[in-house]
Amino acid sequence: MLLLLDCINAFFTDTVPPWSCSTFRPIPLNTCLSHAVHSSPLLQHSSGTLLGHGFSGAVHSFPAFGSHPALAVKTFASQNPGEDTDTYLSPILNEYNLASLLSHHPGIIKTYDLFTDGQHWHQSMEYAPFRLQDLVTGGKLSKDEVDCVFAEIFDVVNYMHGLGVAHLDLKMSNVMVGEDGRVRVIDFGSAVKFQVEYENDVVFVSGEHGALSFSAPEVLGGIPYDPKLADVWALGVMYVCTILGRCPWQQARTFDESYQRFSSRPEDLLELLPRHLRYNIGRMLKIDPAQRLTMDEIVQNGTLLQASKGCLNLERLAASRAPNEYE
Ligand SMILES: Nc1ncnc2c1ncn2[C@@H]1O[C@H](COP(=O)(O)OP(=O)(O)O)[C@@H](O)[C@H]1O
Ligand SMILES: [Mg+2]
C-alpha cells in the first residue's frame, strides 16, 4: 500500500522516497502501480454489480473469489479532454490518501488500492453490505439501536478529527453497515486535512462541500469556516432526520422558512426530540459555530450512549438484506 502511494506521489512530485520508486520512473505510471495492486485479479474475474453512483464516479461490488474478500470498487469519472492531469488527479489522490490514513478504525471502511487500467482510476475497498439509509427508512431500527448507531458514528468522527481530518460530507448515504453490524463511514471525496502533525492550529476551509441539507450555515455563508464544526452540524441534522423521519430544512439559509423558524425558535424543533437528546442536539445545531459542541465533548458527554461493539442484531439484519436496487 505504502509502495503504491509513494509511487504515485513520487511520480507527481519528483520526490524520491527512501526505498525509492525511482527505478520505475521511466516506466508508465500504471506499470509502476501494478507492483502493489492486488485487486485486479478479482476485477478480471467478474464484471461487478452497480452499488451506487454519485459526484465522483460509480461504485461496483465484486463477490469474494478464492482467497480474495468481496470488494467494493469506486471507478472515478475519466479525465476531461484538455484537463490538466495534476488537476484531475489531485482530488482522487486526496480521497485515497485520507481514506487510507483513516482505514485503521473499525468504523471506517478499509481502503485497499488505487490503480488505473489506463482509462479510469479505481479505488478498491472493503465491501459493506447494508446501507444505513435503508435500515432507517425501512423502520428496521429500534430507538436504542438508532442511539447506538449514532454513538458509533460520533466515535468515528471524533477519531477522524483527532487525526486532523474532517469528512465534510456526512449524510445517511455515506454511512454503511458491515457484516459485523457496525457502522462503516465511507466517501472521503470531500474530506480535508485541517491540521498538520504536532501543530494545534486549525486550517479553516472555504467553499461549499457536501449535501445542501446537511451543510452548516457558515458553510453556505461563503466565509472560511472550521471544518470540524461543520461536521458536528451535519451529524446533528442527520440525527434529527433519523428521529423525525424527515429532514428539518432544505438548506440552512434564512430564505428557507423551516430554517428561519428554527433560527428564531430552536426549542420548537428540539421539543419534538426525545428528552435525552435535546441538550446535545441543541448544542450541535448552534448557529454560531463557536457555541457548538466539539466531537470530543460529545463523546465525553455521558448523556449520549458510548460506542459499543456493534449495535445491530445481525440475524435481523441478514433477514432484511434488501436486493440491490440496480440488480
Ligand atoms: N465500500 C462500500 N461498500 C458498499 N457500498 C458502497 C461502498 N462504497 C460506496 N458504496 C455505495 O456507493 C454509493 C456511492 O459511493 P460514494 O463513495 O459515496 O461515492 P460518491 O462520492 O460518488 O458519493 C454509496 O452511497 C453506497 O451506496
Ligand atoms: Mg457519497
Closest CA to ligand 1's atom 19? 54
Look at residue 326 and tell me if it is in a domain.
no
- The total number of structural domains in the chain stands at 2
Cell digits of residue 161: 478529527
Q: Closest-lying ligand to the alpha carbon of 326?
A: 1
Place 310 in a pLDDT band, splitting at 50, 70 and 90.
confident
Does 238 share its domain with 188? yes
- Tell me the CA–centroid distance for residue 37 and ligand 2, in Å: 24
Residue 295: per-residue pLDDT: 95
Does 253 share its domain with 302? yes
Asked if the model's pLDDT at residue 104 lies above 90, the reply is yes
We report the CATH number of the domain holding residue 252 as: 1.10.510.10
pLDDT digits (tens, 9 = 90+) for 11-50: 333 332 222 222 222 223 333 333 334 555 556 655 789 9
Q: What is the mean pLDDT of residues 81-96?
A: 95
- Tell me the CA–centroid distance for residue 57 and ligand 2, in Å: 9
Residue 322: per-residue pLDDT: 53
- The lowest-confidence range among 26-40, 80-94, 228-242, 312-326 is 26-40
Closest CA to ligand 1's atom 21? 56
Q: Is 169 a catalytic residue?
A: yes
Look at residue 327 and tell me if it is in a domain.
no
Ligand 1 residue neighbourhood (C-beta within 6 Å): 51-57, 59, 72, 74, 109, 125-128, 131, 173-174, 176, 186-187, 189
All residues at 6 or more sequence positions from 166 whose CB lies less than 8 Å from its CB, including other chains: 160, 191, 192, 194, 205, 227, 228, 230, 231
Residue 64: per-residue pLDDT: 86
Of 126, 160, 193, which residue is a domain's last? 126
Does 155 share its domain with 120? no
Q: Closest-lying ligand to the alpha carbon of 61?
A: 1
> Which has more pLDDT, 111 or 6?
111
What pTM did the predictor assign? 0.86
- In terms of average pLDDT, the best of 17-31, 55-69, 92-106 is 92-106
Does 142 share its domain with 157? yes
pLDDT digits (tens, 9 = 90+) for 202-223: 999 998 888 999 999 999 998 9
Does 168 share its domain with 306? yes
- Tell me the CA–centroid distance for residue 20 and ligand 2, in Å: 35
Look at residue 49 and tell me if it is in a domain.
yes
Does 118 share its domain with 172? no
Closest CA to ligand 1's atom 27? 52
Place 312 in a pLDDT band, splitting at 50, 70 and 90.
confident
Pocket test for ligand 1, best of 42, 50, 51, 180 (most atoms within 8 A of CB): 51
Asked if the model's pLDDT at residue 304 lies above 90, the reply is no
Of 126, 142, 159, which residue is a domain's last? 126
Of 126, 149, 184, which residue is a domain's last? 126
| Residues 128 and 176 sit within 8 Å (Cβ to Cβ) | yes
- Tell me the CA–centroid distance for residue 137 and ligand 1, in Å: 18
Residue 169: per-residue pLDDT: 97
Does 258 share its domain with 176? yes
Asked if the model's pLDDT at residue 163 lies above 50, the reply is yes
Choosing from 147, 169, 226, 231, the catalytic residue is: 169
The atom of ligand 1 lying closest to the CA of 57 is 22
- The lowest-confidence range among 88-97, 148-157, 193-202 is 193-202
Residue 41: per-residue pLDDT: 57
Q: Percentage of residues in the chain with pLDDT exceeding 70? A: 81
Asked if the model's pLDDT at residue 228 lies above 70, the reply is yes
pLDDT digits (tens, 9 = 90+) for 264-295: 999 999 999 999 999 999 999 999 999 999 99
Q: What is the mean pLDDT of residues 142-149?
A: 90
Does 15 share its domain with 151? no
Residue 284: per-residue pLDDT: 97
Pocket test for ligand 1, best of 186, 209, 325, 326 (most atoms within 8 A of CB): 186
| Domain that includes residue 53, residue range | 7-126
Q: Percentage of residues in the chain with pLDDT exceeding 90? A: 63
Residue 321: per-residue pLDDT: 63
Look at residue 325 and tell me if it is in a domain.
no
Does 177 share its domain with 95? no
Does 109 share its domain with 146? no
Does 165 share its domain with 255? yes
Pocket test for ligand 1, best of 49, 56, 73, 74 (most atoms within 8 A of CB): 74
Residue 33: per-residue pLDDT: 39
Look at residue 109 and tell me if it is in a domain.
yes
Q: What average pLDDT is seen over the chain?
A: 83
Does 108 share its domain with 40? yes
Look at residue 293 and tell me if it is in a domain.
yes
Asked if the model's pLDDT at residue 7 lies above 60, the reply is no
We report the CATH number of the domain holding residue 57 as: 3.30.200.20
